[in-house]
Structure 1
Amino acid sequence: MSEMSVQTPAPFPRLNEPAPEFEAVTTHGVVRLSDFRDSWLILFSHPADFTPVCTTEFIAFAEIYPELQKRGVELLGLSIDSVYSHIAWLRNIEEKTGVKIPFPVIADLNKEVATKYGMIQPGASKTEAVRAVFIIDPKGILRAMIYYPLTTGRNMAEILRLIDALQTSDRHGVATPANWKPGDKVIVPAPQTMEMVEERMKAGFEMVDWYLAKKSLE
C-alpha cells in the first residue's frame, strides 16, 4: 500500500500574536500591513463585489468611518475580485446611493491575503471569502476576529463597541463585562493572592464577590 501524503493545513491567525504580513494591490495603490503600524486597523473581507449584503455593509462601514478615525482606526476591505471590479463597484455605490467609500479595498485575486487570514472556508464557499473582521493594534498584534456567514451583514455598533472596549482595556488595565459600552463600569482584574483579595475587599469597589469587582472610570 502506498503511503498517503499528509497535507499540512494552512495556518490561521491567532489572537495576541502578530498579524500575518502582506503586500497587496488596492483601490488606493499598493499597501502593506506595516503601513498601518502606529494606528489601529480593521481588516475585513466581503464575499464579492456587486452583491446586495456587501453593498449595505460598505455603506455602513463608510458611515462609521469618521467615528473610527476619531479612535485612531483605519479601515481596509478585501475580496477575491480585481481592482477594476472594485473601482466599478465603488463608483456604482456612489452613483446609486451618494455614499463615497473613503477606505482602500484589496484586490486579492490570487487569494494570498485571504488564505493567510483564514478567510477562505470551503464549508461556507469554495470561491469566495467569508465575512471576516480582524482588529489589529498599533503594534501589529491581532486583538480580535469575528466571522459571519454569507447571509448575515455585520453590526457596525458592535464593531465600534469592540474597538472602544479594547482601547479602554489597554488604557486602564481593566476588562469589560457583557454588553459593556463607554461610560459603564469596568471589571477590575481578578486578585492573584490572598493578600490581594483582602486589599480588594477594602478598596471600595462594587463587589459581587472576591473574584468579581467593578469600578467606574469617571
Structure 2
Amino acid sequence: MVLLGEQFPNFEAQTNIGMINFHEWIGNSWAILFSHPNDFTPVCTTELARAVKLMPEFQRLGVKVIALSCNSVDSHVEWIKDIKSYADVTMDDFPYPIIEDVSRILSTKLGMLDPDELSKEGLPMSARAVFIIDQNKKMRLSIIYPATTGRNFDEIIRVIESLQLTDKYKVATPVDWKKGDEVMVQPTVTDNQAKKLYADKLKIIPVPSGKQYMRIVPQPEDSSMSAN
C-alpha cells in the first residue's frame, strides 16, 4: 500500500498500446491511475467512457490517464469498442492505455484487490481505486470505491485542481470548494505574511474563540500571491 506523499512505485506492464515503464510513461506530467474490477461490466464501462469524454480536461491540467483491469490486453481491445460506443465517440486510437493484470501482481502490490469481489474462477478482482500522482512521482491522493459504486469524475477533476492550486500558492481549499471559489490562507502563513501577500483582499471570519484563523481570500490567479 502506497501512502500519501510517498514515491509511487515504478513498474512495467503490458497495455493495449504495448509494454510501458510507468515512471517513463508519466514523464514530467501528473497522472491518474484508476482500476476496475472487470472488463465488459456495466459500471466500469460508464467510468471509462466518462474518462474518454473528460480527456480535454485532463489535458488542460497536464494529467496523463491510465486504467487497470484484471484482464488480458486482448480483452481490453475488445472492450474498448464497447467503451467508445457508450461514449458515443469516433476515434481511431483510444486516448489512454489500459493495463493488463491477469496475474493480480500489480493489484496486490498497490493494495487494489477487493476480497468481496470475485471472478467466476473465484479470484479477487481489483477494487475501484484512484491514485493521483504528481510530476515528482509522489502519490497525492487515493480513493478506494467498492465495485458497486461508480466514481465521481467531477470530484476527481476538482481534487486535481485543488492540489495544483495549493502547490502553487499558500492557500487551502475549504469544504465543497470549486474552481473560482474563495480559498483559505494556510495556517503556516503568519498574520503579517498574510497581510503582506493579500492586503485588502484578506477577509477574516470572526469565531467565538476569538482566534483569527478563518482567513479567506479570492482564488489566486497571479504571481503576486505565489507561494514562491
What is the TM-score of this pair, normalised by structure 2? Answer: 0.83
For residues 3-36 of structure 1, the C-alpha deviation after alignment (integer angstroms, 9 at most, x for no partner) is: xxxxxxxxx1100110121110001111122120
Distance 1:201 1:41, change over 3 A: closer
1:210 corresponds to: 212
CA displacement, residues 140-180 of structure 1 (integer Å, 9 cap, x when unaligned)? 00000111111111111111101100000111132111111
The CA deviation string for residues 59-108 of structure 1, in whole angstroms up to 9 with x for no partner, is: 10101011101110010000110011000110233356533541000001
SS in 2 for 1:66: helix
Cα contact 2:49–2:84 (8 A) shared by 1: no
Separation (CA, whole Å) in 2 of partners of 1:211 and 1:191: 10
Q: Provide the residue aligned with 1:28 in structure 2.
A: 17
The answer to whether the aligner puts 1:133 opposite 2:130 as a matched pair is: yes
Q: Which residue of 2 aligns with 1:4?
A: none
- Stretches of structure 2 that go unaligned for 5 or more consecutive residues are 206-210, 222-228
SS in 2 for 1:67: helix
Alignment of 1:13 with 2:10, yes or no, is: no
Q: 1:198 to 1:173 in 2, by over 3 A?
A: closer
The match for 2:155 among 154, 158, 164 is 158
**Contact 2:50/2:153 (8 A) holds in 1:** yes
Give, in whole Å, the separation in 2 of the partners of 1:152 and 1:39: 29
| 8 Å Cα contact 1:119-1:132 kept in structure 2 | yes
TM-score (norm 1): 0.86
Question: Against the structure 1 CA distance between its residues 178 and 84, is the aligned structure 2 distance closer, same or farther, given a 3 Å change threshold?
Answer: same
Kept in 1: contact 2:49–2:86 (CA 8 A): no
What is the letter of the counterpart of residue 206 of structure 1? K
User: Identity of aligned pairs, percent?
Assistant: 42
Please say if 1:114 is aligned against 2:107.
yes
Please give the alpha-carbon distance, in whole angstroms, between the structure 1 residues aligned to 2:18 and 2:150. Answer: 27
180-189 or 119-128, which deviates more: 119-128
Q: After the TM superposition, which of the residue ranges 136-145 and 178-187 deviates more from structure 2?
A: 178-187
RMSD: 1.9
SS at match of 2:49: helix
Matched residue count: 204
